[in-house]
Every structure is written in C-alpha cells, then in structure tokens.
Amino acid sequence: MREVRGRAFGCGAAVAAASVATELLQGLTVTQARNLDAFQLDRALGGVPPAKRHALLMVLQCLAEALGPRLGAAPPREIPLQTNARANG
C-alpha cells in the first residue's frame, strides 16, 4: 500500500486508532494488511482502556470492508444487529 487515507468520526479512541492504522498500513501488501489485528493496534497506541477497545474493532472492520473479500473466500454472511426489543410471540 502506497497511500492510505480515511476519515474517522467518533470518540478519541476511534480517531486515534484510525490514524495509527493508516501509519501501520503504509508499505504493506494487501495480504499483510489483512493480517493487521487489534493487538497490533493496541500496542501501537500504547494500550487502549478496555472500555474503548471497540474502536480497534471498528477500524479493523472498516479495513476489511475496504480491502474486499479474499480471492476464493466464501461470501460474508450477514450478522443481524442485536436489539433490546424482545420478539412478540
């Protein structure tokens, strides 16, 4: 990857994680970029408090969507969002 850019909105942890991810991704191949994980982001940020670790996962989800599916991989399945509403029945 020669140039990595993006926009992040949200809490400070989300913005910081996105910013650090762009730095970590510079010079990587797509395969290497797919292997970036939450532990690497956490280390690069100097440790993220447990209540803010969701930001790391959001950044990795965005990265996965930007890179698209792997060749030969099964199509992603939809995961329904959980809500507090209970089903009637």
Residue listed under structure tokens 């992040």: 8
Sole residue written with tokens 């507090």: 84
pTM (2 d.p.): 0.71
pLDDT digits (tens, 9 = 90+) for 7-60: 888 889 999 999 999 999 999 998 899 999 999 999 999 999 999 999 999 999
15 contacts 8 by C-beta, under 8 angstroms: yes
**Where is 55: in which H helix or E strand?**
helix 54-67
Query: Please, which pLDDT band fits residue 86 given cuts at 50, 70 and 90?
Result: low
User: Domain residues of the chain, as ranges?
Assistant: 12-67
Kindly list the distances between the CA atom of residue 29 and the CA atoms of 14, 16, 18, 51, 84, in Å, as whole numbers in the listed order: 24, 22, 18, 31, 41
**Mutual orientation of helices 12-25 and 54-67 as an angle, nearest 10°?**
40
